[in-house]
Amino acid sequence: MGVLVGKQAPAFSAKAVVDGNKIVDNFSLEDFKGKHYVVLFFYPKDFTFVCPTELHAFQSKLQEFENRNAKVIACSTDTEFSHWGWLQVPKAKGGIEGITYPMVADTNKTIAYNYDVLAGDYDYNEDNELSATGELVSYRGLFIIDLEGVVRHQIVNDMPLGRNVNEVLRTLDALQYNEKHGEVCPANWTEGEQGMAATIEGVSQFLSMN
């Protein structure tokens, strides 16, 4: 997997479902640059099993992301109509009714490719015919993008492995703490704890207290 941390997040403009029921044609990350942090997460497929648990987990914490001036955006290689259809299915029946954050439709798979989370690949066979190896859907990639549009955190899980939304919040807190105070955040740091100076003295003081 490619490392995007420290680089500008790949731009895109695509169809998306917003507010749980409205399809828009040109959803773009550029609309958030300079205004909001972005938590962009990819999931493999609509109408599956681990995916709805993640989508609902992000929805349940949506206000906490909003409190941190962060926008949550989901993306898969399904169509906008598939997203919309899944949003009509009640949670009790495996659906994602009630999800309100944007769901991007990466139907041409270029967004997942540019973020290097696309499973499988295209190739040409011995007859020079285009073929595909593996299933061309996205891994469970997640990217935290700062106000300048720079990727500051990324994590990629294999498809069976659901993510921890609380850890995403903790990492976002650490980023914002560093930006505000200039201190770095040691292992297992959580909001409300002190950071430390990025010096030998700072490390020594922290280790002596823990």
User: Which one-letter amino acid corresponds to residue 11?
Assistant: A
Q: Helix axis angle, 50-60 relative to 165-181, nearest 10°? A: 40
- Extract the tokens encoding 122: 């295209």
Whole-number pLDDT of residue 91? 95
What residues are annotated to the active site? 51
Residue pLDDT, tens place only, 134-171: 889 999 999 999 999 999 999 999 999 999 999 999 99
pLDDT band, residue 181 (cuts 50/70/90): very high
Residue pLDDT, tens place only, 115-131: 999 998 888 888 888 87
- In CATH, the architecture of 13-161 is 3-Layer(aba) Sandwich (3.40)
Please state, rounded to an integer, the average pLDDT across all residues of the chain: 94
Residue pLDDT, tens place only, 78-107: 999 999 999 999 999 999 999 999 999 999
Determine which of 7-16, 66-75, 189-198 has the lowest per-residue pLDDT on average: 189-198
- Residue 76 reports pLDDT greater than 80: yes
Pairing mode of beta strands 103-105, 70-76 = parallel
Residues with Cβ within 8 Å of 133's Cβ and at least 6 positions away in sequence, in order, are 120, 121, 123
- Residue 55 reports pLDDT greater than 90: yes
Whole-number pLDDT of residue 1? 56
> Taking the domains of the chain in order of start, what are their residue ranges?
13-161, 164-210
Whole-number pLDDT of residue 130? 81
